[in-house]
Chains A and B, each alone.
Chain A
């Protein structure tokens, strides 16, 4: 169905991109050695019935009635591993193996949002060092 397509292939299994660890399907991907395109449905809107207490607290702190920018955060899959794309470092951050993955994408997305938020706000985020090195004001 349109809107849930992944380069012409419908996402039928929540573990589709974990099972497909190589992930290099087209000739072009094999040539450049990396995957082109999203490893998740970017158009999936959050199910607010599954929101976690931590995210609720964040919304309250920021004065928002919804997840705001976190609506665009999903759990993706990089080289067969669950990961989240961090726009602030333009790279994937992997979910530790110790975290059990729920059996549906909506709950996985909520975990991804929590983890990304904690990472972005932590002192070990690369942006902290970048600001120290390059900030102008």
Chain B
């Protein structure tokens, strides 16, 4: 990698670039990477490619006459110009708004957005003064997203990190396949919330619909209200002092702390009876091996 300049890389095909940068095409499945940390690494808080933005530098976008693609491109352009606070007016329920932001940024959306809003983000703080459609913040990596009203189904699907907060109620399959992060719901959540959850934390201040935590592998769900029914392999567990401290801190932070505290929350975890990798059929073993 060291002997190749950026200018030289730009003149290459993608295949040539990959080879010049030492990319391998061999199958690495099952092998350890053997990378070791460098304790002397430079202390930096942003990705090397992330533009340097200033939270005090503010810009506004009127999305009324813009397409989703134009809005998203404009947000990136503003970040490259150093704007750290962007206010988006008139989103008018457009789908896939503000996706793929991989940087710190304060984004305020004045209105409601459609499906797949703020998906694939890694770092920004987003406040949505309205409602959101299906799959809000899908695959979110880091950052905070706070929705002032209600959200649709599959809220925070496959989220991997960060805090996703809805002050109102959300639809069904909240946090489906979530692999990390925290989802907080101020109101109720629908059926099959936490379906196939693998890790992370879900906090619902209100009630939960049927089959909560169905087929969950790991992770923790905290419910403040009633649970219609638990799903397959979801079991209740004791709320520890550390859980209570964490819940109090998180809910206070987002101004969703119930008047009666957190002691009444029910904790739901995986029973881990579905962890039966040892019982795979011979044909499945052949495929894996």
| Contacts A87-B160, A99-B39 given; does A133 touch B45 at CB 8 Å | no
Name the segment of B130-138, B148-156, B166-174, B236-244 touching the other chain: B236-244
Distance in Å: Cβ of B42 to nearest Cβ of chain A = 6
Check B97 for interface membership: any CB of A closer than 8 A. Answer: no
**Residues of chain B with a CB closer than 8 A to A92's CB:** 32-33, 35
In the complex, whether B201 has a CB less than 8 A from a CB of chain A is: yes
Please tell me if the beta carbons of A43 and B219 are within 8 angstroms of each other in the complex.
Answer: yes
Whether B39 pairs with A93 at a CB distance below 8 angstroms is no
Nearest opposing residue in chain A for B288, CB measure: A32
**Smallest Cβ-Cβ distance to B279: which chain A residue:** A28
Within 8 Å by CB of A42, from B218, B236, B245, B289, lies B218
* A interface footprint on B19-40 (CB within 8 Å = 1, 0 otherwise): 0011100000010111111110
Question: Which parts of B37-82 form the interface with A (CB within 8 Å)?
Answer: 37-39, 41-49, 55
Task: Name the A residues within 8 Å of B125 (CB-CB).
Answer: 62-64
Mask for A26-49, Cβ within 8 A of B = 1, else 0? 111001111011100011111110
**For residue B201, which residues in chain A have a CB less than 8 angstroms away from its CB?**
43, 45, 71
**Closest CB-CB distance, A44 to chain B, in whole Å?**
8
**A103: Cβ under 8 A from any B Cβ:** no
Could you say which of B37, B49, B106, B142 contacts A68, with CB atoms under 8 Å apart?
B142
Instruction: Number of A interface residues at 8 Å Cβ cutoff, please give it.
Output: 68
For window 25-83 of A, CB contacts with B under 8 Å fall at 26-28, 31-34, 36-38, 42-48, 54, 57-58, 61-66, 68-69, 71-72, 78-79
Q: Which of A7, A8, A128 contacts B49 (CB 8 A)?
A: A128
Contact B1 A129 (CB under 8 A): yes
- In contact, B142 and A54 (Cβ under 8 angstroms): no
> Given A72-B200, A115-B39, A43–B269 Cβ distance below 8 Å?
yes
**Interchain CB contact under 8 A, B49 and A69:** no
Complex Cα distance, B289 from A113, in Å, reads 33
For the complex, give the distance between the alpha carbons of A134 and B23 in Å. Answer: 10
Is there contact, CB below 8 Å, between A43 and B218?
A: yes
Alpha-carbon gap, A38 to B49, bound state (A): 31
Contact indicator B275/A7 (Cβ below 8 Å): yes
Q: Which of A71, A96, A129 contacts B23 (CB 8 A)?
A: A129
B104 within 8 Å of A (CB atoms): yes
- Chain B residue numbers with a CB within 8 Å of A16 are none
Taking CB atoms, residues of chain B closer than 8 Å to A129 are 1, 21-23
Distance of A62 Cα from B103 Cα, bound (Å): 9
Please choose the segment from B111-119, B204-212, B246-254 that sits at the chain A interface, where 4 or more of its residues have CB less than 8 A away. B246-254
A124 to B22, CA, bound (A): 13
Q: Which residues of A contact B271 (CB under 8 A)?
A: 2
Determine the chain B residues whose CB is within 8 A of the CB of A126 once the complex forms.
35
Report if B89 contacts A (CB, 8 A): no
Chain A residues with Cβ under 8 A from B240's Cβ? Answer: 3
**B96 at interface, CB cutoff 8 A:** no
Residues of A within 8 A of B (CB): 1-3, 5, 7-8, 26-28, 31-34, 36-38, 42-48, 54, 57-58, 61-66, 68-69, 71-72, 78-79, 84, 87, 89, 91-96, 98-99, 115, 117-134
19 further interface pairs, Cβ-Cβ under 8 Å (given A93-B33, A128-B49): A2-B271, A27-B278, A33-B30, A38-B218, A42-B219, A43-B218, A43-B220, A61-B45, A68-B142, A69-B160, A71-B182, A72-B181, A72-B199, A87-B160, A92-B35, A93-B35, A118-B44, A121-B44, A122-B38
